[in-house]
Amino acid sequence: MKIKFIHTSDLHLGRRFDIKNFSLKEREKRRQELWDAFDEIIRRIKKKSIKYLFIAGDLTDGEYIRYKDLNKISAIFKSIAETNIIIACGQSDPYNINNMYEYIEWPTNVYIVKATDFVDKLHFPKDKLCIHSMSWDKQKNEKAQAIYDISVDESKLNVLLLHCEINSTDRLPINLNVIKNKFDYCALGGRHNYEQIMDKVVYCGSPEPLSFKETGDHGIVEGTLEKASIEYTFLQIAKRKFNIRNIKLDASYSFNKILDLIKFSGDTFSNIKDYVRINLTGTVSTEISMDEIENESRQFFYYIEFEHNYLYKTEDKNYEGNEYNIIESYKLQFNDSDDKLEQQAFKLGLEVLRKEKVVD
């Protein structure tokens, strides 16, 4: 008998985005898009008649999630009563006496893993399925030995549901060699990018990316499980991506050429939908106002920000006779330098003088 499942984690419902360039409006919009991803998962469960939903930690940002939002989640889970929902708690929603999950009336199809010192075993006899899981109880979990001590019934389907780090010294480190042959499927959470460690060991990643550290596709894992056979597919469901693009400049580039390099750095659809960070390197002529270029660029993007890793190149000129040209005199105060702080000071001063409309 094949069991249909969806594996997700790291939804971080209720998250407070701390991306410094995000406006309050954008932060609120992004929070809503996390809920939209959650709704999309539920729609897919209904459409595909999914029997099991595995949530491998960080369903919510426990520090910020509101009581009414948890009641909303409970009501949504109740709407898929035929689906068994198993929730392991992770780093952002650790299970302890203060966890608000304890104060919610969950429907009977929801199973929250409360074991933090040992591995809990959830049995589903009709499907001959056993889910082995353990939740976090604080920001750092060091109980890996409990995972290694698991004994499994080979006559059943055995699934490991865990928020952890494979082969790492961080956050509940798990040795892959110990678990890889013990379970029919390892549904892991804790990494925000999809990663197939091996056929049976998978990080599903977060349904929506949360920062520029999480480029690439984001979504969920959907599959079917039977003894000695696992089939699954990664489904991209994220509304937006975080994209980082590198542009190397040259002091010979004109204003329009630099603007075009930024405008056409990606496809139009991505530019009007995704979050884009442009990493500018190389050298720029002091005759070019990069602030003006950046301001011009914004009209072509849904969201764009810049990293300033370029250097200003002061041209060799004969300054004789320019004693009263403030901009040219200012340039003489700085030598070509790759010191970032000095370059930032030079850029700031140059833009201030330009705004004063001091010209040759």
Residues 258-279 have pLDDT tens digits of 999 999 999 989 999 999 999 9
Rounded to an integer, the average pLDDT of 163-180 is: 74
Report the distance separating Cα 93 and Cα 139, nearest Å. 9
Look at residues 129, 183, 181 and name the one whose alpha carbon lies nearest to residue 156. Answer: 129
Look at residues 69, 51, 58 and name the one whose alpha carbon lies nearest to residue 5. Answer: 51
Q: Is the pLDDT of residue 250 over 60?
A: yes
- pLDDT value at position 77? 98
Mean confidence (pLDDT) of the chain: 88
Residues 113-148 have pLDDT tens digits of 999 989 999 999 999 999 999 998 875 556 677 888
Residues 79-117 have pLDDT tens digits of 999 999 999 999 999 998 888 999 999 999 999 999 998
- pLDDT value at position 144? 73
- pLDDT value at position 261? 97
Contact 285, 310 (CB under 8 A): no
- pLDDT value at position 355? 63
Tally the C-alpha atoms within 13 A of residue 9's C-alpha that lie toward its C-beta: 29
Report the distance separating Cα 144 and Cα 68, nearest Å. 34
- How many residues in the chain? 360
Q: Which CATH superfamily is domain 3-236 in?
A: Metallo-dependent phosphatases (3.60.21.10)
Q: Is the pLDDT of residue 226 over 60?
A: yes
- pLDDT value at position 360? 43
Q: Using CA of residue 65, residue 66, residue 72, residue 75, what is the dihedral sign? A: positive
- pLDDT value at position 340? 64
- List the beta bridge partners of residue 120: 133
- pLDDT value at position 33? 97
Residues 302-314 have pLDDT tens digits of 999 999 999 887 6
Q: Is the pLDDT of residue 168 over 90?
A: no
pLDDT > 70 in the chain, percent: 84
Report the distance separating Cα 71 and Cα 69, nearest Å. 5
- Element containing residue 161 per DSSP (H, E): strand 157-163
Contact 161, 132 (CB under 8 A): yes
Residue 72 has phi, psi (to 5 degrees) of: -65, -45
Contact 154, 130 (CB under 8 A): no
Look at residues 221, 220, 143, 219 and name the one whose alpha carbon lies nearest to residue 185. Answer: 221
Nearest-5° Cα angle at 166, 164 to 167:
135
- pLDDT value at position 359? 44
Q: Using CA of residue 345, residue 286, residue 275, residue 339, what is the dihedral sign? A: negative
> Picking from 6-15, 74-83, 135-144, which range would have the lowest pLDDT averaged per residue?
135-144
Annotated domain spans of the chain: 3-236, 242-355
